[in-house]
Amino acid sequence: MKKIEIAFQGEKGAYSELAARRYFKSTRLQLIPQKTFADVFHAIAKRKVDCGIVPVENTLNGGIREVFNLLDEQSVFVTGEIKLRISHMLLGVRGAKISGIKRVYSHPQALLQCRKFIHRAKLSQAEYYDTAGAAKFVAELGDPSVAAIAGLSAAEDYGLRILKKHIESDGKNFTRFLVVTRESYVPGDADKTTVIFSVKSQPGALHKSLSVFAIRDIDLLSIDSIPNVGRPWEYKFFVDFRGGVFGEAQSKALEHLREICPHVKLIGSYKEGRTEY
């Protein structure tokens, strides 16, 4: 039986890889690391993989605009979602002790999320492009005074010891991931829809566009504005709303939105993701 091939951004052991394993709950998965988010979308478009998994939002840092833009520009469709509790750990090599750690490597966002711990422990910090990449680097370095901040699977993948668990300042740290495919497909149990649209440059235009949901009592789950590249101080909006796209109110709302907005793209309609710990 062929394995499902899934592209993700980052090194082996990244949170996206963990999200994919939790979403698909299958052992017949082949996770294929990509350097950038653009590479993930390229791998999907060029049929090098069956699908991809990408983070779109973190509860501490907000939406990931680079991913919003790729979802808008590329011929892809979102068919699923999963939310993952992000728990950072301090990882060191064999022989490392927490009291002996002087310097810590991680992704800038992870360093920011653990800043209270880093400050209390008086560690110097260095940025790395990726949490799992930092873990790999620390494993290769082999210096017991150097640690990485990364997730559990990075510890397993690079043979590092967990020196301390849950070192993030705010425990309510979740990331939302989307499953991205080539084919537009709406699952029968879809109860959430994502759309990107831009509005005319005139007073009240955003208010008008949100009316299409409000008059039908459709709950907006999130809204994010993204700059229109090449048109300074103009924006597009990335909106999640309650209900599948085949619901009567939802399909009417989309029709209405297309009537009043110069650009509307349906990103996907899917089952709202469960939260995994």
| Beta bridge mates, 98 | none
Q: Which is nearer to its own copies, 29 or 60 (CB)?
A: 60
With contacts defined by CB under 8 A, name the span among 6-14, 150-158, 184-192, 229-237 that binds its own copies: 229-237
Site size toward its own copies (CB under 8 A) is 42
> CB-side exposure of 151: number of CA atoms within 13 Å?
22
Instruction: State in angstroms the smallest separation of the CB of 111 from its own copies.
Output: 10
**Tokens 């017991």, residue located:** 144
Q: Does 206 bind its own copies (CB under 8 A)?
A: yes
DSSP 188: T
Buried-state track 84-93, b at ≥16 Cβ within 10 A, e below 16:
bebebbbbbb
Strand, coil or helix: what is 104?
strand
With contacts defined by CB under 8 A, name the span among 92-100, 139-147, 185-193, 232-240 that binds its own copies: 232-240
C-alpha dihedral, 207 to 213 to 215 to 221, nearest 10°: -100
Furthest C-alpha separation in the chain: 65
Q: Does 223 bind its own copies (CB under 8 A)?
A: yes
Collect all residues with Cβ–Cβ distance below 8 Å to 208 and sequence separation of at least 6: 199, 260
Q: Does 211 bind its own copies (CB under 8 A)?
A: yes
> Among this protein's residues, is 174 annotated catalytic?
no
Looking at this protein, which amino acid is placed at residue 56?
A: V
Q: Which is nearer to its own copies, 188 or 203 (CB)?
A: 203
Q: How far is CA 189 from CA 183, 193, 268, in A?
A: 17, 12, 13
| Near its own copies by CB under 8 A: residue from 204, 246, 255, 274 | 204
Instruction: State in angstroms the smallest separation of the CB of 245 from its own copies.
Output: 18
| Near its own copies by CB under 8 A: residue from 42, 65, 161, 256 | 65
- Binding mask of the shown chain, residues 157 to 176, with x at each position contacting its own copies by CB under 8 A: -------------x-x-x--
For residues 106 and 115, what is the distance between their CA atoms, to the nearest angstrom?
12
> Among this protein's residues, is 27 annotated catalytic?
no
- Binding mask of the shown chain, residues 4 to 43, with x at each position contacting its own copies by CB under 8 A: ----------------------------------------
As given in the structure block, the two tokens for residue 111 are 């360093």
Q: Does 227 bind its own copies (CB under 8 A)?
A: yes
Contact by Cβ (8 Å): 244, 253? no
For residues 23 and 176, what is the distance between their CA atoms, to the nearest angstrom?
12
Q: Does 63 bind its own copies (CB under 8 A)?
A: yes
Q: Which is nearer to its own copies, 188 or 232 (CB)?
A: 232
Q: Which of 79, 131, 175, 193 is catalytic?
A: 175
Q: Which residues bind its own copies (CB under 8 A)?
A: 57-63, 65, 108, 127, 129, 170, 172, 174, 202-204, 206-208, 210-211, 213-214, 217-227, 229-233, 235, 242
Q: Which residues are catalytic?
A: 175, 177
